[in-house]
């Protein structure tokens, strides 16, 4: 199914970004943030299906049930997928659903790993698919993340030894969006033998926790991401 996906050409993406930036000159930052909050609220409260450029359904998100951090902690730091639960973290504004916790161990303080990430990115404000590594083109060149846990603080960068994956090639930066690091406190990164053992999350990332383009243009993104330890 993902092989049918057509992504926005980078030159067109830049043109759209510049056009939006021009349109926003008369908007204050506060107005842009309010527009972002409204877009996230609408996304959460409507029955969402994400489509590719050809109109094929890629992901069914559904109407989201937001739970508190206290409830999340009370549930063993897990979200009930059958109820489509997402926990909202007040300090970052990130919403997260743990689809699969994964097998193996969590990344403990003092540890570093290389992690393979495969993702689909949906621009919530523009209501459109923006980028993805779930294509045949990136099947042999996924995004590889060099990540470290330093006293509970995660730092990471995209590894470009293989030429980089979709995120690096789309945005031209080795910086991993801060919102992508939120799940690492709760998921397990091991050497899985089946797809069902690979950690998978769904997250809503506000611009302040996103990549440089999202930060500059004040838009939120929804991601479905799988993480597994690189062999």
Percentage of the chain modeled with pLDDT above 70: 89
Dump pLDDT digits (tens) for 12-22.
555 555 555 54
Dump pLDDT digits (tens) for 80-137.
999 999 999 999 999 999 999 999 899 999 999 999 999 999 999 999 999 999 888 8
Q: Has this prediction a pTM greater than 0.85?
A: yes
Dump pLDDT digits (tens) for 174-195.
999 999 999 999 999 987 777 7
Burial class (CB in 10 A: 0-12, 13-18, 19+), 153: exposed
**Of 49, 63, 36, nearest to 210 (Cα)?**
36
Domain with 56 in it: what CATH number? 3.10.50.40
Spatial separation of the C-alpha atoms in residues 13 and 121, rounded to whole Å: 14
Give the CA-trace dihedral at 213, 216, 219, 221, to 10 degrees: 30
pLDDT score for 3: 37
- What residues make up the domain containing 179? 2-229
Question: In this structure, are residues 147 and 115 in contact, taking their beta carbons and an 8 Å threshold?
Answer: yes
pLDDT score for 9: 52
* The total number of structural domains that make up the chain: 1
Spatial separation of the C-alpha atoms in residues 71 and 65, rounded to whole Å: 12
């Amino acid at each position: 199914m993902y092989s049918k996906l057509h992504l926005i050409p980078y030159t067109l993406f830049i043109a759209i970004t510049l056009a939006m930036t021009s349109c926003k000159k008369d908007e204050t930052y506060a107005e842009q943030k309010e527009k972002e909050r409204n877009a996230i609220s609408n996304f959460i409260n409507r029955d969402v299906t994400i489509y590719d450029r050809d109109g094929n359904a890629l992901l069914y998100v559904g109407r989201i049930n937001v739970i508190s951090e206290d409830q999340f902690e009370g549930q063993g730091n897990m979200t009930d997928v059958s109820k489509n639960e997402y926990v909202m973290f007040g300090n970052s504004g990130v919403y997260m659903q743990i689809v699969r916790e994964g097998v193996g161990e969590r990344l403990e303080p003092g540890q570093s790993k290389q992690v393979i990430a495969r993702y689909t990115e949906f621009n919530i404000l523009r209501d459109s698919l923006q980028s993805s590594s779930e294509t045949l083109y990136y099947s042999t060149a996924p995004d590889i993340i060099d990540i470290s846990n330093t006293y509970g603080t995660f730092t990471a960068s995209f590894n470009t030894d293989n030429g980089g994956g979709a995120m690096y090639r789309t945005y031209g930066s080795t910086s991993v969006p801060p919102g992508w690091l939120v799940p690492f406190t709760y998921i397990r990164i091991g050497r899985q033998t089946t797809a069902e053992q690979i950690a998978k999350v769904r997250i809503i990332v506000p611009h302040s926790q996103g990549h440089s383009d999202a930060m500059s243009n004040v838009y939120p993104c929804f991601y479905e991401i799988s993480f597994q330890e690189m062999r």
